Amino acid sequence: MANGPPTPPPPKTAAAESTILQASETATAVNEAADANTSSEAPASQEQQAPSAASAQTQPEPDPYESALPKISELVATSRFRELIEEIEVLDLTTPGENSPNRMLVMIPLVLAYLIKDEIPLARMAMKRLPRNLTEPRITQTLGGLLLAVSERDYPKVYVRAEDFIDYAGQPDFPHQRLGTLIKNMIPIFRLSVKEPFTLLSRGYSSITPTMASKYIGLPIEYVTKMATDRRWKYDPSTETLTPVLVGKGAVRATYGGSRPSTLGNFESIADSVSKLEM
């Protein structure tokens, strides 16, 4: 059989052309939708990442006064008050925000440290640096009352106000519990430092009457007797004399029953020492 010309493709009908056109349009629409989804997902992903980056940038920095409390507590526990004073003074000098209420967290221990070291003018200066915008003004009122009593050497008030401060710091509604613990740890050390005149007297006398001790220290006789016995002095009511149990090394010991001091030199030495405490 002879090969004839190739058979031409069947002519396209109108229905076939319509079907092909619809398929092409559908494919184009699908591709456009996929592209749109891809482009919309990228900004969404970027938007999701943006808040996390922003939140990382806006994380509040630790408060420098709060952060100093562990170190301050450590120095108080080891009675390193000179180092504590230097630590707080440097922190306060290098930290902005003098009106921050949290500044009290370091200023109150600083005032107490100066009182323990018997540096009253510096304690007053530290007191003036307390922020004025505290929500609980009783803190400054209580500390200010104690500082005033110490400045005036009004010892009965000193002990009463020291006890008041401890009681206040131990209350459940005290504004800052960690600061309250610091106050409760520092006040007893302060009270012992105030009793230093007894150490001076023990170096000069093997015994002394409560009346004379009262004149030296500036306290009522009943306070003197109690404070002396608290410091392990012995009181003999039959002779009305106080006797220290321990006397410092190399101290000149003398007996004084109220009639005369052992020597004029002894008297002047003790009087001078006590007068320095009163300055």
One digit per residue, the tens of pLDDT, for the chain of length 279 reads 555 566 655 555 555 555 555 655 555 555 555 555 555 555 555 555 555 555 555 677 888 999 999 999 999 999 999 999 999 999 999 998 778 899 999 999 999 999 999 899 999 999 999 988 787 889 999 999 999 998 887 777 888 899 999 999 999 989 899 999 999 999 999 987 876 677 777 777 888 999 988 877 767 788 888 888 888 889 999 999 999 875 444 443 433 333 344 444 444 454 555 555 445
The span from the CA of 230 to the CA of 226, in Å, is 6
Residues 6+ apart with CB under 8 A from 111: 123, 126, 127, 143, 147
> Does 57 map to a domain?
no
Is residue 168 located within the same domain as residue 79? yes
Same domain, yes or no, for 115 and 218? Answer: no
Identify the pLDDT of residue 109.
98
Judgement on whether residues 219 and 155 belong to the same structural domain of the protein:
no
Q: What are phi and psi of 215, to 5 degrees?
A: -65, -40
Residue 89 covered by a domain: yes
Nearest Cα neighbor of 144 from 128, 132, 160, 133 is: 128
Predicted confidence at residue 144, as pLDDT, reads 95
The answer on 200 and 185 residing in a single domain is no
Shared-domain flag, residues 126 and 180: yes
User: Would 21 be classed as within a structural domain?
Assistant: no
Ramachandran angles phi, psi of 241, nearest 5°: -130, 150
Q: Are residues 215 and 133 in the same domain?
A: no
**Domain annotation covers residue 216:** yes
Please identify, among 155, 177, 194, the residue that sits at the C-terminal boundary of a domain: 194
Residue 252 region by backbone torsions, left for phi larger than 0, else alpha for psi between -120 and 50, else beta: beta
What is the pLDDT, as a whole number, of residue 252?
39
Residue 12, in any domain of the structure:
no
- Residue 226 CA to its chain's centroid (Å): 33
183 and 200 housed in the same domain: no
Q: Are residues 209 and 170 in the same domain?
A: no
Give the DSSP H/E element, type plus range, for residue 242: strand 241-243
Let me know whether 204 and 108 are in one domain.
no
Residues 69 and 189 in one domain: yes
Q: Is residue 138 part of a domain?
A: yes
At 255, is the secondary structure helix, strand, or coil?
strand
Per-residue model confidence (pLDDT) at position 39: 54
Please, what is the Cα angle at 238 between 232 and 244, to 5 degrees?
A: 20
Q: Angle CA(37)–CA(40)–CA(42) in degrees, nearest 5?
A: 110
Whether residue 52 is contained in a domain is answered as no
Give the separation between CA 25 and CA 223, rounded to whole angstroms. 106
H-helix or E-strand spanning residue 201: helix 196-204
Q: Are residues 69 and 187 in the same domain?
A: yes
Residue whose C-alpha is closest to residue 275's, from 207, 190, 201, 216: 216
pTM for the full predicted model: 0.59
Tell me: the pLDDT tens digits for 132-179? 878 788 999 999 999 999 888 777 788 889 999 999 999 998 989 999
Domain boundary among 140, 175, 194: 194
Contacts of 57 (CB under 8 A, 6+ apart): none
Read off the tokens for 259: 């009639």
Strand partners, 207: 255
Look at residue 28 and tell me if it is in a domain: no
- Domain count of the fold of the chain: 2
Burial class for 214, CB neighbours closer than 10 Å (0-12, 13-18, 19+): middle
Domain boundary among 194, 223, 252: 194
Range of the domain at 242: 196-278
87 and 125 share a domain? Answer: yes
